[in-house]
Structure 1
Amino acid sequence: MSPPVLAEPEWQAREQAHAERMRAWTVPHQRRRARGEKHPVLDFLFTYYSYRPGHLERWQPGAGSVLAGPAARRFLDRPGFTETAGGVVLDPAACTGRRARTAEFVLRLLSATASRPPRLSCFGLHEWAMVYREPAESVRHDQVPLRLGSAGTDAVVESMEMRCGHFDAFRFFTAPARPRNTLAPTRESQVELEQPGCLHANMDLFKWAYKLDPFVPAELVGDCFALAADVRELDMRASPYDLSGYGYPPVCVETPAGRAAYARAQAEFTRRAAPLRARLIEVCRALLDHRMVERD
């Protein structure tokens, strides 16, 4: 089957729409950074995750589409793009070395995650565990107060069971908090423990999308980023921090009503993440299948 050909007006319209969509986040971030202003919720999307704003705005079709028209020749300045009789195309054969190994890992991780039922009973206590018994001067977001104070925060951690199975959250737990967790996740056990209800696993779909750049269509990267931004909001609203000054009302997970609200939102994010995870799995399989054919 011949690859689909995107006429120049079509792909340029997609390119413009993607850039405008992402600028809703990138432009305010860049303005805050120019002012030296921190944001305890949104900075995470550009500091913890290493994809630069300019790259987030940049459009690519992913593998398998031919870009027609003379303007498409500018894509030849990017790695992996090649010119054919019909136009410019991203060659899946360019997925070699480190990116191929990344695709193999992402395929294993996301397939394993998708195979499991979601767990919706962690109630966001990972953020509480990150400040448990921590001196005030060492608290991660020291520009905002703890909603219940240090003693009240510690009391919540001590009154509830912690079930965090995500290593990249667990590794930020304070030393006193780690033994209180029912699991001891490691990098090596990530594929074994990841589950689709985890907020961080769903935020990390954005990371896996950009790690496979440029083979993931920009719109899919954008969808994963938009999900990560919404999940991050719940993550911090359910945290011990008082973010009311930034316009974020708390989800009070120390109460039954707050836990129920958190679980409902977590279930909705699980539903939203599922098709994005499936699409990333398809991208990985297509890239790796192409490599197998090339080798044969």
Structure 2
Amino acid sequence: MTTLLAAAEWRARAEAHAERADTLTAGHRERTALGEKHPIEDFLFTYYSYSPSLLRRWHPGPGVELADAAGDPRAGWRWYAEGHEPGSLVVDRDAMEAEKGPMLAVVARMLRLTASRPAAFGCFGLHEWAMVYRQGEHRHPVPLRLGQAATDEVVEAHELRCTHIDAFRFFTPDAVPRNRFEPTRESQPELEQPGCLHANMDVYKWAVKLGPLVPGELLLDAFELARDIRYLDMQASPYDMAPWGGEPVRIETPDGKAEYVRRQRGFAERANGLRRGILDAAFAPTPALQPVE
């Protein structure tokens, strides 16, 4: 069963989507033209390698028929087909399933399993500290806020509890054995949990991979979540991000830990809401997800 959207309605949504995407990517596009970089915001375009133009592309999601779409560029996009009404278009979920079935299954599994688990809030963002532990050269050309020796002392005063492979794989050799977990790509579905900042940033990645199965509004919501999380990730890091609007969250102090966890909880709730919305849109209604406690 599909819902028919009048041309005026869906074109207005598509235009609003493009304007919102342009606003979200304006700073990155301007810096790229000038050959400049922002170590917090530009990360989303380098780490995930998705271009601003991809964000401008609005999709209605499955089960929505776009009326009077003859001649629209979507007619030439992958995984679109003619709808029931003359001149209409719909997302061809069956064709995408036939071509990308295994990938869709992986994404659905990751979203469901991650959201089904209790959130853990005891990591305090120490993954970034573990990436510079006892290391003379660092990933980011930014000074350490406390200096190398004091940074190492913070790591040694805490237990590392990173559950995310794409953070853990950047740990320095001396930091690896200090971590409670040993994340691997194979164990990722079993370890991901909604308190993890990087797992919640990855909701954006999963939304992109699902392409036209995700309504455009959800895609931009996921991008905004990833952007907001990236700020906390760097604010709580050992780097001095104040020159780029990243006033430090001093996780080496009780007050800094409390602020980190408070914001971490908010991100977990937002991410699980997006996981539910994406699963419902791209696949089928899902059972109630684990509440964030």
TM-score range, shorter chain: over 0.9
Q: From the superposition, tell whether residues 181 and 97 of structure 1 become closer, same or farther in structure 2 (CA, over 3 Å).
A: farther
Letter in 2 for 1:119: A
Deviations 1:261-292 (A, max 9, x none): 100000111111111111222244349xxxxx
CA contact (8 A) 2:214 2:282 kept: no
Match of residue 190 from structure 1: 188
Superposed CA deviations along residues 174-228 of structure 1, whole A, max 9, x for unmatched, are 1111111111100000011111111111100000000111221111111111111
One-letter amino acid matched to 1:102: M
Output the amino acid matched with 2:25.
T
SS at match of 1:214: helix
Identity of aligned residues (%): 54
Instruction: Report the equivalent of 1:131.
Output: 132
Between 79-88 and 51-60, report the one with greater CA deviation: 79-88
- Please tell me whether residue 166 in structure 1 is matched to residue 172 in structure 2: no
Q: Which runs of 5+ in 1 are unaligned?
A: 288-296
Q: By how many angstroms is 1:50 displaced?
A: 2.1
Question: Where do 1:1-296 residues align within 5 Å?
Answer: 1=1, 3-70=2-69, 73-86=72-85, 87-96=88-97, 99-135=100-136, 138-142=137-141, 144-286=142-284
Whole-Å separation in 2 of the counterparts to 1:14 and 1:247 = 32
Shift of 1:103: 1.3
Residue by residue, what CA displacement relative to the aligned partner does 1:70-127 show, whole Å, maximum 9, x if unpaired? 4663211101111234211111111135622111111212211111110011000001
Note if contact 1:104-1:284 (Cα within 8 Å) is conserved in structure 2.
no
Q: Distance in 2 between matches of 1:52 and 1:74?
A: 19
For 1:252 and 1:98, the matched residues in 2 are separated by 47
Q: Equivalent residue of 2:72, what SS?
A: helix
Is residue 8–residue 72 contact of structure 1 (8 Å, CA) maintained in 2? no
Higher mean displacement: 126-135 or 278-287? 278-287
Question: TM-score with structure 1 length normalisation?
Answer: 0.92
Tell me how far 1:37 sits from its aligned partner.
0.9
d(CA) in 2 for partners of 1:71 and 1:126? 50
CA separation of 1:231 and 1:98: change in aligned 2, threshold 3 A:
farther
**CA shift at 1:13, angstroms?**
1.1
3-state DSSP of counterpart to 2:113: helix
Aligned mates of 1:11, 1:40 — CA distance in 2: 36
- Counterparts of 1:100 and 1:216 in 2: how far apart (Å)? 15
Q: Pick closer, same or farther for the CA change 1:215–1:237 going to 2, 3 Å.
A: same
1:61: Cα distance to partner?
1.0
Contact 2:123–2:161 (Cα < 8 Å) also in 1: yes
Moved more, 36-45 or 93-102: 93-102
**Match of 1:96, SS?**
helix
Q: Is the 8 A contact 1:73 1:88 kept in 2?
A: no
Query: Structure 2: which 5+ residue stretches go unaligned?
Result: 286-293
* Change beyond 3 A, Cα 1:200–1:85: same
- When the two chains are superposed, the root-mean-square deviation of aligned CA atoms in Å is 1.5
Q: Distance in 1 between matches of 2:175 and 2:35?
A: 32
Q: Distance in 2 between matches of 1:195 and 1:283?
A: 21
* 8 Å contact kept, 2:60–2:215: yes
Tell me the TM-score normalised to structure 2 length. Answer: 0.93
CA contact (8 A) 2:62 2:282 kept: no
| Contact 1:103–1:284 (Cα < 8 Å) also in 2 | no
Aligned length: 283
How many angstroms apart in 2 are the aligned matches of 1:261 and 1:72? Answer: 52
Cα deviation 1:130-160 (Å, max 9, x = unaligned): 111111xx21111x21100111111111111
3-state SS, counterpart of residue 195 of structure 2: coil
SS at match of 1:82: strand
Query: Structure 1 residues 224, 45: CA separation in 2 closer, same or farther (over 3 Å shift)?
Result: same
Deviation of the 1:260 alpha carbon: 0.6
Residue 30 of structure 1, CA deviation: 1.3
Distance in structure 2 (CA, Å) of the matches to 1:100 and 1:215: 13
**Cα separation, 2, equivalents of 1:183 and 1:34:** 42
